[in-house]
Copies of this chain bind each other. A is one copy, B any other.
Amino acid sequence: MKALVYKGPGEKAWEEVPNPTIQQSTDVIVKMVATTICGTDLHILKGDVPEVAKGRILGHEGIGEITEVGSGVTQLAVGDRVILSCVSSCGRCSNCRKGLYSHCMDPEGVEGIGWIFGYMIDGTQAEYVRVPFAENSVYKVPEGVTDAEGILLSDFLPPGFEIGVQYVHVAPGDVVAVIGSGPVGLSAVMTARLYGPSKIIAIDLDDSRLKRSADFGATDSVNSGDADWKEQVLALTDGQGVDVAIEAVGVPQTFTMATQIVRPGGHVANIGVHGKSVDLAMNELWIRNIDISMGLVNTNTLGMLLKLVTEHKLPAQNFVTHEFSFDQILQAYEVFANAAQHDTLKVLIH
């Protein structure tokens, strides 16, 4: 089959590789119908994730059709059209039983834990993929759900919803601020609307991104390059601050911003990926009655989001700005890696 193979820092190839085979009784093999590219794939390609070995097939998002099932698989069958969760999980360990799939412990250590596609095992940017612990890690696709909708539930929409919105209990009437208007921030904007906030304030340095955020549900925007950005945010509240501040960038400055605009009794959600530690002003914050949440996506809301997509209550497909065929995957990477130039959010490869 053909697959996108990591060849070492800065190098990749769409090349012929052996087809995957069933290794554990709980595996299935899936013929990929559509996949996409994640910012993490770019990090891996830069060499930022050294534990990824040369020769690894990249990708952890996708939708496809089952072509083979292991002997321990009783609830999936050849021909099922399924969304692959980016998180592989046994479904039985104490973490999985709590829905904490990202920290699956798989007691026997057969497969490792959580996110492994395109990282510890071969991924989804390929014609076929082996899916471990398949019964807990794939979701059958209801009729009427498109490929574009499906692939965005693999990994893209769940983090903003789970860590950004659910962990911090967004409630009707809340004022929510989302710092960072890139794709991840916009996923939080779109999914925050599911809990009826009265305002969603997009905060970013780039006016064109702020303008676009309105298409995804932001009701207000503040350019954080303005000297009085904080006062602008507070003026959109009752003066006490926002109920929920969502950090969607991943640098110390934006994390600190989130802690500065949250009201007493409010919540900070971190969905940005951080490479450095952050100076947390506990001398000021200890009296603020706030909490700060963070974490990897579990995709334990994939079924919930799928119901909404099926009923056209969540316009997930709006994130797809470009489409490619599988053999145009290198071009897709080009467009995704230069997002500002192409106004890219997510690419659909099918």
Contact between B110 and A265, CB atoms less than 8 A apart: no
Q: Is A270 part of the binding interface, using a Cβ–Cβ cutoff of 8 Å? A: yes
Q: Which of A153-210 contact B (CB under 8 A)?
A: 163, 167, 171-173, 193-199
Contact between A276 and B286, CB atoms less than 8 A apart: no
Q: Is A106 part of the binding interface, using a Cβ–Cβ cutoff of 8 Å? A: yes
How distant is the Cα of A312 from the Cα of B28 in the complex, in angstroms? 43
Contact between B75 and A108, CB atoms less than 8 A apart: yes
Residues of B within 8 A of A304 (CB): 171-173
Contact between A172 and B286, CB atoms less than 8 A apart: no
- A281 and chain B: residue at smallest CB distance: B277
Residues of B within 8 A of A92 (CB): 75, 91, 135-136
Q: Which of A74-94 contact B (CB under 8 A)?
A: 74-75, 90-94
Residues of B within 8 A of A93 (CB): 75
- A292 and chain B: residue at smallest CB distance: B292
Query: Which of A97-105, A227-235, A338-346 is found at the contact surface with chain B?
Result: A97-105
CB distance from A102 to the nearest CB of B (A): 6
Q: Which of B70, B288, B310 contacts A72 (CB 8 A)?
A: B70
Q: Is A219 part of the binding interface, using a Cβ–Cβ cutoff of 8 Å? A: yes
Q: Is A146 part of the binding interface, using a Cβ–Cβ cutoff of 8 Å? A: no
- A309 and chain B: residue at smallest CB distance: B198
How distant is the Cα of A305 from the Cα of B292 in the complex, in angstroms? 26
How distant is the Cα of A242 from the Cα of B171 in the complex, in angstroms? 22
How distant is the Cα of A106 from the Cα of B292 in the complex, in angstroms? 27
Contact between A278 and B280, CB atoms less than 8 A apart: yes
Residues of B within 8 A of A110 (CB): 74
Q: Is A24 part of the binding interface, using a Cβ–Cβ cutoff of 8 Å? A: yes
Q: Is A148 part of the binding interface, using a Cβ–Cβ cutoff of 8 Å? A: no
Residues of B within 8 A of A24 (CB): 74
- A92 and chain B: residue at smallest CB distance: B135
Contact between A264 and B172, CB atoms less than 8 A apart: no
Contact between B94 and A289, CB atoms less than 8 A apart: no
Residues of B within 8 A of A171 (CB): 304
A-B contact pairs, 17 of them (CB 8 A): A25-B74, A26-B74, A75-B106, A91-B97, A92-B136, A167-B291, A173-B304, A173-B308, A194-B195, A198-B313, A219-B311, A252-B282, A270-B286, A277-B280, A288-B295, A289-B294, A290-B293
Nearest 8 interchain pairs by C-beta: A72-B72, A289-B295, A194-B196, A103-B264, A274-B282, A173-B307, A173-B304, A291-B293
Given contacts A74-B90, A196-B313, A288-B294, 20 further A-B contacts (CB under 8 A): A24-B74, A72-B72, A74-B106, A75-B90, A91-B91, A91-B136, A97-B303, A102-B289, A195-B195, A197-B313, A198-B308, A198-B310, A198-B313, A219-B311, A274-B286, A275-B283, A277-B282, A285-B294, A286-B294, A291-B294
